[in-house]
Structure 1
């Protein structure tokens, strides 16, 4: 059961958070390109598609922490500092995504004007996820020998 939960958690992270990170990162340059070439229908359609990918996969991404908590409970590590820090960072990433990135994308789509703060928020969102991934791999204090 532990292996199944861990597998589902890792697959969900790769298949859900990966597309969010990539689509959200591609959105600001695509919005700038659409702003510079408003008569090109291909350029103007891309930000809308990237926003949709970000929104849909963000909803699917809810399963990542759900299976993560179930996995942590199965392994008996819910009280470990590295996991608590990971959960706090994950919550921070979710707040950034829901509170700044997605609304920022919507504002850009509505106004047609690029927003530099959106690129910064997206970069911070991706940085938080990168730190969580590193914590999941290194697991400070772990006796698995992952880091020695």
Structure 2
């Protein structure tokens, strides 16, 4: 078995888990901070994330524990198989006195996928920067 690496980004969010959960699981909100999608909050649901760069990610909901954990596969097929990425993204929400501690982990980068690993590290930081204003605009 090949050893893999994970990108982990953690943030303290000044909103309750219920509000953050909505932004992670409602397709129109996901589109505002992550990518266009056909997500549905059901284990086993297969969906696509469509990036602004034209790429399509094939995904499947693996874990769904409301307001606690969401995990889905995050697979990208490239014309050059050396650049194929098979990974799992897991969002973990922990209530805090000030809101929610959010942990995002994307696991499954092969050692030779340094560019993809670096891109994911920068990408998740940018996605989460876009998530904050989406949460601020939500009622409740």
**TM-score normalised by structure 1 residue count:** 0.28
Larger radius of gyration: 1
Higher strand proportion: 2
Higher helix proportion: 1
